Amino acid sequence: MEKYQAEILRIKELLSANREGLSITEITGMLNMNRNTVAKYMDILQIQGSVDGRRKGTSKVFFLSERLPVASLRKFCTRPFFVTNQDGKVTDHNQEFGTLVGMARDQLTGLPIENLPVRFLDATSPGAAIKAVLKGTEQRIRAQVRQGEKILPVTLLMIPGVFETGRPGVSVIIEMDNPLADSNRREAASFDVTGLLDDGFEYVIRRTAEGITQYVNEPYCRAAGKSREELVGRPFKPLISPEDTDRIRTHIAGLNVQYPVGTIEYGVVMANGELHHLRWQDRAVFNSRGELDTINSFGIDITEQVLATRKLKNAQETLEDSIVHRTDELRGINRQLYQEIAQREQMEEQLLLAQFAMDRSTDMVFWITQNARIRYANDVAADALQYGKTELLDCTLGDIVPGYTITDWDQVWQKLKQGGQVSYETPLVKKDGTRFPAEVHLTYLEYRGKEFVYGSSRDLTERIRLDRALKEANKKINIYTSIARHDIQNKITILLAYLSRTKRSITDPRLLDYLNHQELAAKAIRTEINLTREFKDLGSHPPVWQNIPALVAGVVHRYEQAVRISTDLPDADIFADGQLALVFDRLIGRSQEHRADSPEIRISHHVKDNTLFIVIENNGPGFSPEEKEQIFDVQNNGSGDHGLLIAREILSLTGIDLTENGIPGAGARFEIRVPETYYRFTAMTP
């Protein structure tokens, strides 16, 4: 579900940055996603009313919808309004509209717009106006409302809307042209609800073109820690960095009559001192002369999304880069704090940013005092050691590093204080007593007269597993290189023997016969060298996660013309050597060599006792009991299959087993056994 929400968010952010719209092909290319997945997400977004689409040439482009959720209209609009469906029939209205036209709710509901006591003065019919708005175009139409015997001049603001079912509709807001209308009512009505595009906005602000706040809602007052009286009538000044101030100024300047809506994200320090990230959607309202009148802003808190994105990005960095980056970042923040000490608000913001960065670091981070007590630990450290953050503050370094005494820490403290750094590998102890290998880096820091050691650590379990796999690969390469070298020497001996006989020959015709023998020996040498060449890359690179259906599909494509192949594989990844494709190529190739009248290969899978089994079978004669192990062995007399030997060794690098357990006479059956820790299912659960 998190992956689904994250991909939906990426699509919406991309459409927000491309106002002219993008096709499914363009979105697929920019986000490197599956085309069918993108099409499914676009259907969902259209049903939600979040995006609209239109034809552009031969393709269809999509863009963020500016449709107003009709269910939210009552929350903000104080002017008379009514709502119609696609057929132009009234589905909802407020009390002000009923009072204006002198009709009860049961009289208005279901009434076609043509039958309302409203006369369109512009050269358009109500039906045509409805169709234009349903296509996403906002309309302003001069009209007259019949109120008994009175005729009132009005302006109809017709806004594209969307119902909770996802179906489009039209919201019609009545603007009274009477200059003597009640001033309080006109002031409330000036709040332009056309900027409300999502029913989930938390913060609402209206300000003038000069930046003077006219209205804020209660949630924003609470977040800012101020009353409405303290905010209204004063310049809108959120607590943000100078860089974001320039970005906001440029963003507002880019709004115009053609593109009145824009979205921007930035960080802000809230009243409680926490740094939050907000996404604001600003709608500029222009007067009849095209001049900026007011700006309506609607904001939501996206802190969790931003933090999740940053955490994912940081997880892809290497250990060395991460340590250098975090240390430099901390030192840089401290330098900035000293430089800006005279400016209290800026200093507090930098401290919050430093705290935020360490809390979300991909490494475990600790602050350790002179008496070896942990003064601070970030979320990653608490999760890895299975402690609560407050529990870790009651621990000493010796509680998480086995065998570490206060005497040891005194020696390390003095070394660090003299300007050195300490880095070493050690097991760390979890709360339940279990251990895991880790690398620890310690650096001495002093801030405003307070001394502490900054420690960072990273779990080495994965790296150790990779190192062991690489060492095992190198060991096997050395063994089989020795075997190949021995075989080559034997063939060279044969070649020399025939050369000796050639020298003893008397007549030239016999020389041709000896040369033919030399050629056969040379071919044998070439075969052995080929075997050595195929082994030279074995284990030279760390194993990686590889998608089985995609990998097998690429191999099967090369054999489909010669034999019928059926597959039943899970959407899963296998942690194996980079030459995994060669394994399936050799197994499928070996299976199609012993053909029946109607050759067929079946590739299937099953899971038993947390082990994934991948089975490759054919309908040929199979192997006899004596052949079953010999086909994987070429050390005795040159018999066996080099390809199958290599396939087994490639798999064994990460603990995966390969056997042949078919029934003689009923076909060959190669079985790949993948242990639990070396496979993972990748399909999304419904």
pLDDT at 462: 81
Q: Got the DSSP string for 115-169?
A: GSSEEE-SSS-HHHHHHHHHTT--EEEEEEEEETTEEEEEEEEEEEEE-TTS-EE
Q: Count how many Cα atoms sit within 13 Å of the Cα of residue 377 in the half-sphere of its side chain.
A: 24
Please check whether residue 154 is in contact with residue 174, taking contact to mean a CB–CB distance below 8 angstroms: yes
Contacts of 575 (CB under 8 A, 6+ apart): 543, 544, 545, 546, 654, 677, 678, 679
Q: Which band of pLDDT confidence, cut at 50, 70 and 90, is reported for residue 191?
A: very low
Amino acid 180: pLDDT: 44
DSSP state of 201: -
As a residue count, the chain comes to 686
| Highest-confidence segment of 59-63, 116-120, 410-414, 418-422 | 116-120
In angstroms, rounded to a whole number, what is the distance separating the alpha carbons of residues 177 and 637?
103
pLDDT of residue 192: 43
- Report the 10 Å Cβ neighbour count for 679: 22
Write down the pLDDT at residue 596: 57
pTM of the model: 0.32
pLDDT > 70? residue 686:
no
Does pLDDT of 156 surpass 70?
Answer: yes
Residue percentage of the chain with pLDDT more than 90: 10
Identify the pLDDT of residue 530.
58
Answer with the residue of higher pLDDT: 146 or 176: 146
pLDDT at position 128: 86
Pairing of strands 669-674, 81-84: unpaired
* Number of other residues whose CB lies within 10 A of the CB of residue 524: 18
Domains of the chain: 2-64 (1.10.10.10), 68-195 (3.30.450.20), 203-306 (3.30.450.20), 317-459 (3.30.450.20), 464-535 (1.10.287), 544-681 (3.30.565.10)
Mean of the per-residue pLDDT values of the chain: 79
Cα 319 from Cα 359, distance rounded (Å): 17
Q: 357, 329 in Cβ contact below 8 A?
A: yes
Q: In this structure, what token pair is assigned to residue 573?
A: 């990844």
Span 582-634, pLDDT tens digits: 888 888 877 776 655 677 889 999 999 999 999 999 888 888 887 777 777 75
Q: How far apart are the C-alpha atoms of 269 and 57, rounded to whole Å?
A: 46
Higher pLDDT, 359 or 614: 614
Query: What tens digit of pLDDT does each residue of 492-513 get?
Result: 767 766 666 666 665 666 666 6
